[in-house]
């Protein structure tokens, strides 16, 4: 860590550098705010589009059966089913596919069977090794193929 300079010892060049750095950080902050605002607008547009699609594909009762108001198929229609699915790549879909959950469960059972760390073993290093093992089960390294349970 750099040592702070007392205000009385600050030179004009150092003050100028500080003001330049402050200006740079202000620009970065303004850019991040613009990006966040743009993403918020995009999110609002996407949510509005989803709401319009849901309204278009509302369920109606036709001849004693629930059907889609737009496409006439049995409700929920394919469009509504897609809208109800979790986004790809989220933790929900990864757990739903079963492979990650199966690997984590197998790792848990192996850990239970192994028991506590042997006497004389550093608990910190033992725990770190477990965390690395868990991480590799949840998100396998790119160069290592996934194990089949």
Q: Are 15 and 22 in contact (CB under 8 A)?
A: no
Q: Are 67 and 59 in contact (CB under 8 A)?
A: yes
> What does the H/E/C string look like for 92-130?
HHHHHCCHHHHHHHHHHHHHHHHCCCCCCCCHHHHHHHH
* pLDDT reading at 136 higher than 90: no
The mean pLDDT value for 45-74 works out to 84
Instruction: Say which residue the tokens 């009762």 belong to.
Output: 61
Instruction: Give whichever of 42-51, 95-104, 120-129 has the largest mean pLDDT.
Output: 42-51
| Annotated domain spans of the chain | 86-149
Residue 23 confidence (pLDDT): 93
Confidence of residue 149 (pLDDT cuts 50, 70, 90): very low
Residue 24 confidence (pLDDT): 93
Share of the chain above pLDDT 90, in %: 19
Residue 147 confidence (pLDDT): 53
pTM of the model: 0.45
At 116, list the tokens: 């506590």
Cα 102 to its chain centre, rounded Å, is: 20
* pLDDT reading at 143 higher than 60: yes
Residue 93 confidence (pLDDT): 53
Question: β-strand 65-68 against 59-62: which pairing, if any?
Answer: antiparallel
The pLDDT tens digits of the residues spanning 28-40 come to 999 999 999 999 9
């Amino acid at each position: 860590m750099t040592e702070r300079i007392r205000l009385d010892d600050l030179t004009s060049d150092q003050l100028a550098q500080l003001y330049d750095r402050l200006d740079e950080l202000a620009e970065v902050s303004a850019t991040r705010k613009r990006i966040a605002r743009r993403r918020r607008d995009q999110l609002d547009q996407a949510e509005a589009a989803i709401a319009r699609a849901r309204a278009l594909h509302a369920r109606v009762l036709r001849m004693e059966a629930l059907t889609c108001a737009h496409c006439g198929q049995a409700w929920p229609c394919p469009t509504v089913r897609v809208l109800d699915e979790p986004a790809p790549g989220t933790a929900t879909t990864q757990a739903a596919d079963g492979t990650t959950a199966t690997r984590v469960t197998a790792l848990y059972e192996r850990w239970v069977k192994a028991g506590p760390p042997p006497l004389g073993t550093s608990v910190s290093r033992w725990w770190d090794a477990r965390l690395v093992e868990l991480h590799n089960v949840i998100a396998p390294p790119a160069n290592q193929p996934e194990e089949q349970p």
